[in-house]
Structure 1
């Protein structure tokens, strides 16, 4: 396990209590540097963990996917900065991304625009009212994210190679829906293995259930880190 590899892996604390999340962090110890906190844990008393994990030297991806009027998004991102999060998400609408970029300017917070959720396929996108195919919508939103001046985007690893091609150097490309070979896809529809996602251009990989639900979480994380170490 190399330091570079651990900088690429984000473990999703998709759990329903702070105690469960703390147990995972304790078990993983120094093997993992990054954690994601989303709705499930955040609304179950987990938001204070953002600051606490940061004080422990961990990096936190606060995944709340903000979408509101520009002023509300701006003030929300300012509050996220005060928590000490390293990354956060907004939906990739131009007005929303511009407001988030304004609030994060001059700070270390990386704002990510969520392009198309990895649980969506072409039928889901059509049902939501978009005529474009998922891959085309992802590229459109990636270009708009770059224009808005935010720090990166979230996309399926399936689109990572094409997204990387339109993003300026230095922009983060975070890919959820990562599933090691032989594991269940669950409710994700556009998935990829860790090594393949990095080869496609991802900078960070979000992995939840394959680690958090594993009988030996540290071993599961170690296997992924070993897989990506040559590519990190």
Structure 2
């Protein structure tokens, strides 16, 4: 994989059997996996334990958004299960993000990344929420807050990655979900991008779900994502 961008496969499935099948199909092509709400509420920490047994890196993407004490407890619990990276909502505020970072520091390599604006939101949806600014403006505002809070990175679309790269520390992580190959249906990902665009814009991690997990040959699609990044 390119030194600039790492592939993260989103395990948007319901059962441990599906996880095992995908991990077997992908083999050494993929080291990094993301567990979200669907799998976590279905299988609990069992899926985390399985991935760690396979020596995989685990991103627990629960987008924590609560009072600082509750987030502290959740991050500690994730750390005890061996999670390598956990997400919080940047809109939860600086105190909450600082609490998450402090809890993560109890574990040697655990990182905290802050979600800025989900890739399913466009300008119209932003206005409905009372955010009378562009998605990019909100992403920049929340990124600056995440940096001040000590977070290790942010989650944002590939469209905003280039702007983020110019305002964050050198080792700051930029995780870009909504990655689609050129011919893929964007689905509910309003602000999506291709692997090459995300890599060129400075993304450190590319999250790919449906294009890989729904493919007849998941490993082939994963290799194509990697190739597009390396050739960008």
Give the TM-score of the pair, scaled to structure 2: 0.95
Residue number in structure 2 paired with 1:174: 175
* Displaced runs of 4 or more, over 3 A: 2-5
Residue number in structure 1 paired with 2:19: 21
CA contact under 8 A between 1:69 and 1:96: conserved in structure 2? yes
Residue number in structure 1 paired with 2:57: 59
Shift of 1:106: 4.7
Residue number in structure 2 paired with 1:118: 119
| Corresponding residue to 2:36 among 38, 48, 70 | 38
Q: Which runs of 5+ in 1 are unaligned?
A: none
Cα RMSD (Å): 1.4
| Cα distance between partner residues in 2 of 1:197 and 1:96 | 29
| Cα distance between partner residues in 1 of 2:206 and 2:96 | 24
| Cα distance between partner residues in 1 of 2:159 and 2:2 | 26
Q: Which runs of 5+ in 2 are unaligned?
A: none
Residue number in structure 2 paired with 1:136: 137
Residue number in structure 1 paired with 2:102: 102
SS of 1:149's partner is coil
SS of 1:20's partner is helix
Q: Could you give the per-residue CA deviations for residues 79-101 of structure 1, whole angstroms, max 9, x where no partner exists?
A: 11111111110000222211101
Residue-pair matches, total: 229
| Cα distance between partner residues in 2 of 1:206 and 1:224 | 10
| Cα distance between partner residues in 2 of 1:45 and 1:101 | 26
| Cα distance between partner residues in 2 of 1:11 and 1:124 | 27
Give the TM-score of the pair, scaled to structure 1: 0.95
Shift of 1:47: 2.3
CA contact under 8 A between 1:37 and 1:46: conserved in structure 2? no
Residue number in structure 2 paired with 1:220: 221
Shift of 1:214: 0.7
